[in-house]
């Protein structure tokens, strides 16, 4: 489909008067015939259509046979009278511009109301006509469309006028998408005549068209308009490359097509034999599309290692138009049966339409000579929507939309999903420069992707979006509290780029009254408070400045920047002592002789040392092993270090805990916390430990691996009963999903490169929950022999 210029073609008659004198009918003179014609028109109530409107009327009637031509005629007369005496930079009367814009819209199939607003779209901006006069003469609907495309005055807004005009236009588009359709047609005609502008103005207008208007045309699905805009912008900004590409296209058109035309005829015969009614045609590429193909060819070396040149099949694609959806797949079956399909080239946009309502089957097949041909398959209705986008859906009917509203219908032309999101974040950006930067960044993506939450919610994101963008799309509070994500069932970093069809769950910190990470967008996986003694959750850490490096959507970036501005960076306060009002643990004094906490059977006076590798605490099952100096080392049963001593020939001694032998400095215990990495995690964990009246002897943080991090703490317990309380407190820290008491690693504590221990935590204290959901109640620890430890 091609969009013609709006002016009548020179040399072609458009009215009866332009065809030359005719023989009067019935002997009537010309004047008498004119009077009779006017009388007939008045008798039927039909007003004559101005000559300049006749080409427009013919095109409009092809799409809307019952159109109100009188309304169009009135709009034209008012526009012509208002613009009379005004000239364009090309020297033409100004009325030629609204006529050309209206012709573009008529060729797209726009309704009469849209055409009326198009004829009047510059009257309020450039003439003495007021918006109230437009509304009184043509109704509030036309007045709203005219107001939506009217520019704001530079006198009032200065340098911000262009950005604020686009903001105003987008807000109006949110209520009626025809505002943007008229603006796009207006820009197309201006780009057709851009050669009459100054060179600096040409570059400025072309860049705005490239950065804003072309992406908007893509999102509204108006491909014929988008393709022409792309070619004109390409010619304006890159004239040399445009000339080379046009030269290649002209050379190809001058020669017989040896690939696409013969294959189109062959495919047509094959489909006819299979009983599939279809029209097969060669669809030439426009200039920018061919240029992109040539760039890919140049970047991919051929068999000889040199860049590849253009191939005959690069200049176009085959378009197959059928009647029913099922016929699309029948055509696909014939294609893939008779020719070799290329892996990875098949895309089904029929079952899963694109965000701009586009539907087609895409595939590529290899011919016998080695040429690769791309084929598009769609129905007639799909083809109409693919060419003209939201215009093909017709003028929105608010009454019908309210009556037939369907929550599952995502084809509402008045409020596409991308536009709804854009309108949400633009309200939070009062600064025009920030709005303009965010708008161009949001429109920079060539396409959108669809991801699905584990709860079944569908999220539309721009290509290249990350998990943090998905978190903020679920809500600003969810984004601020997110600490990780699960993509396709695997824990992943927030910086992970999402792909079309991914399944995601956003893991968040606890809400102010909860205890533990929640999962946003996941069915039944949110954590809840698990014990009555849960302490009030700490304030969420919020987004980190590093998130700005991988936040791709304006909504996410603006929310992060706003939070960081409201929460200046402050150093974390790490408390390693007991909470206020609680007795401090007795300082560790190595020189003082401690009462023996363990009694060795048969050796009542033997010196006992609790092993530091496994840090036994009553009532762990323990075993003693003789060491130098006649002392006995006490290890937890199953400790790898104790097992090595047994294998070395040191017989195990029977030992048991002595309640009266608690060391004056308390028991040492090593705790391993596994968590999702986030800011302030170390501060929150140490604060939770010290709040239980427990002193921290040492702390070790391993380098994060993908998203997870492991903290190892050695603490001094005032009494054995403090151990489960400490572990419960650590489990309540947001992001912590496992707390255990590790044994010493195998092989003397060797580490893998990157800092991870060689062994995973042995069966020490394991909470009764996993990453998919948990209970905060502590279930104690179990030694290898099966005896339960202290209950929480």
Q: Which residues are catalytic?
A: 125-126
- Determine the Cα angle at 222 with ends 221 and 225, to 5°: 150
d(CA 397, CA 418) in angstroms, rounded, equals 21
Among residues 225, 212, 230, 215, which one has the least CA distance to residue 163? 212
Instruction: Spell out the SS3 assignment of 663-726.
Output: CCCCEEEEEEEEEECCCCHHHHHHHHHHCCCCEEEEEEECCCECCEEEEEEEEEECCCCHHHHH
Among residues 227, 236, 220, which one has the least CA distance to residue 183? 220
Query: Residues 6 or more apart from 304 whose CB is under 8 A from it?
Result: none
Inter-CA distances, 289 with 192, 223, 230, 386, Å: 19, 12, 9, 16
Query: How many Cβ atoms from other residues are within 10 Å of residue 562's Cβ?
Result: 15
d(CA 146, CA 125) in angstroms, rounded, equals 9
Q: What is the DSSP letter of 20?
A: -
Pair 655, 600: CB distance under 8 Å: yes
Helix 554-566 × helix 417-426 angle, to 10°? 20
d(CA 136, CA 130) in angstroms, rounded, equals 10
Q: How many helices (H) and strands (E) does the chain have?
A: 29, 21
Distance of CA 314 to the CA centre of its chain: 31
Inter-CA distances, 454 with 381, 521, 772, Å: 34, 6, 12
- Determine the Cα angle at 57 with ends 54 and 58, to 5°: 90
Q: Which residues pair with 453 in a beta bridge?
A: 504
Among residues 46, 48, 47, 56, which one has the least CA distance to residue 14? 56
Query: Residues 6 or more apart from 552 whose CB is under 8 A from it?
Result: 445, 462, 464, 465, 466, 469
Whole-number CA gyration radius for the chain: 38
Per-residue burial over 238-269, b = 16 or more CB atoms within 10 Å of its CB, e = otherwise:
eeeebeebbebbeebeeeebebbeebbeebbe
By the 10 Å C-beta count (0-12 exposed, 13-18 middle, 19+ buried), 727 is classed as: buried
Helix 140-149 × helix 161-175 angle, to 10°? 150
Among residues 704, 693, 681, which one has the least CA distance to residue 574? 681
88 preceded by a cis bond (ω within 30 of 0): no
d(CA 175, CA 36) in angstroms, rounded, equals 47
Helix 178-192 × helix 199-208 angle, to 10°? 150
Q: Which residues pair with 670 in a beta bridge?
A: 714
């Amino acid at each position: 489909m091609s969009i013609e210029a709006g002016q009548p073609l020179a040399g072609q008659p458009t009215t009866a008067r332009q065809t030359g004198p005719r023989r009067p009918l019935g002997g009537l003179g010309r004047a008498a015939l004119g009077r009779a014609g006017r009388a007939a028109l008045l008798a039927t109530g039909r007003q004559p259509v101005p000559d300049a409107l006749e080409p427009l009327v013919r095109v409009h009637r092809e799409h809307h046979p019952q159109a109100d031509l009188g309304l169009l005629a009135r709009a034209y007369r008012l526009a012509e009278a208002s613009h009379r005496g005004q000239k364009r930079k090309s020297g033409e009367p100004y009325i030629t511009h609204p006529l050309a814009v209206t012709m573009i819209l008529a060729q797209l199939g726009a309704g009469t109301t849209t055409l009326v607003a198009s004829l009047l779209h510059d009257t309020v901006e450039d003439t003495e006509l007021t918006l109230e006069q437009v509304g009184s003469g043509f109704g509030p609907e036309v007045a709203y469309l005219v107001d939506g495309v009217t520019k704001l005055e530079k006198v009032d807004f200065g340098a911000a006028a262009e950005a604020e005009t686009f903001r105003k236009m987008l807000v109006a588009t949110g209520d009626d998408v025809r505002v943007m359709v008229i603006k796009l047609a207006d820009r197309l005609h201006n780009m057709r005549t851009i050669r009459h502008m100054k060179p600096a103005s040409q570059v400025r207008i072309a860049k705005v068209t490239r950065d804003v208007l072309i992406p908007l045309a893509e999102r509204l699905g108006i491909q014929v308009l988008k393709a022409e805009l792309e070619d004109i912008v390409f010619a304006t900004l890159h004239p040399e490359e445009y000339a080379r590409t046009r030269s290649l296209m002209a050379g190809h058109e001058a020669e017989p097509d040896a690939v696409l035309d013969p294959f189109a005829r062959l495919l047509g015969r094959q489909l006819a034999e299979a009983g599939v009614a279809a029209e097969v045609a060669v669809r030439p590429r426009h200039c920018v599309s061919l240029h992109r193909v040539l760039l890919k060819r140049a970047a991919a070396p051929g068999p000889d290692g040199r860049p590849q040149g253009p191939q005959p099949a690069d200049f176009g694609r085959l378009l197959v138009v059928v009647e029913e959806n099922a016929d699309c797949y029948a055509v696909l079956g014939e294609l893939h049966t008779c020719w070799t399909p290329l892996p990875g080239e098949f895309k089904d946009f029929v079952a899963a339409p694109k965000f701009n309502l586009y539907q087609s089957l895409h595939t590529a097949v290899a011919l016998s000579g080695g040429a690769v041909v791309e084929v598009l398959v769609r129905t007639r209705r799909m083809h109409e929507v693919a060419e003209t986008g939201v215009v093909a859906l017709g003028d929105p009917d608010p009454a019908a939309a309210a009556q037939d509203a369907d929550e599952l219908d995502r084809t509402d032309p008045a409020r596409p999903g991308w536009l709804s999101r854009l309108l949400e974040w633009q309200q939070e950006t009062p600064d025009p420069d920030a709005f303009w930067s965010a708008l161009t960044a949001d429109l920079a993506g060539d396409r959108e992707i669809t991801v699905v939450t584990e709860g079944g919610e569908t999220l539309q994101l721009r290509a290249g979006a990350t998990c943090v963008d998905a978190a903020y799309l679920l809500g600003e509070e969810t984004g601020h509290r997110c600490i990780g994500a699960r993509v396709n069932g695997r824990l992943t970093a927030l910086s992970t780029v999402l792909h079309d069809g991914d399944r995601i769950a956003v893991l968040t910190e606890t809400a102010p009254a909860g205890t533990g990470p929640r999962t946003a967008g996941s069915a039944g996986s949110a954590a809840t408070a698990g014990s009555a003694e849960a302490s009030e959750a700490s304030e969420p850490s919020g987004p980190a400045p590093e998130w700005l490096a991988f936040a791709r959507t304006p909504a996410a970036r603006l929310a992060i920047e706003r939070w960081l501005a409201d929460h200046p960076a402050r150093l974390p306060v790490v408390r390693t002592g007991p909470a206020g009002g609680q007795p401090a643990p007795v300082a560790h004094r190595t020189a003082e002789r401690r009462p023996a906490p363990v009694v060795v059977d048969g050796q009542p006076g033997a010196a006992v040392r609790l092993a530091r590798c496994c840090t036994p605490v009553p009532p762990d099952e323990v075993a003693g092993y003789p060491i130098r100096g006649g002392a006995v080392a006490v290890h937890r049963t199953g400790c790898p270090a104790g097992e090595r001593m047994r294998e070395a020939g040191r017989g195990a001694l029977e030992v048991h805990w002595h309640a009266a032998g608690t060391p004056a400095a308390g028991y040492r215990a090593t705790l391993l916390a596994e968590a999702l990495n986030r800011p302030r995690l170390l501060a929150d964990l140490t604060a939770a430990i010290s709040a239980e009246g427990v002193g921290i002897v040492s702390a070790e943080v391993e380098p994060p691996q993908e998203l997870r991090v492991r903290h190892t703490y050695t603490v001094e317990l005032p009494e054995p009963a403090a151990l489960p309380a400490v572990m419960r407190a650590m489990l309540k820290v947001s992001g912590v999903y496992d707390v255990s008491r590790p044994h010493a690693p195998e092989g003397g504590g060797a580490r893998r490169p990157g800092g991870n221990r060689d062994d995973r935590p042995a069966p020490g204290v394991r909470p009764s929950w996993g990453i998919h959901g948990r209970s905060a109640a502590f279930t104690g620890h179990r030694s290898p022999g099966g005896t339960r430890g202290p209950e929480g």
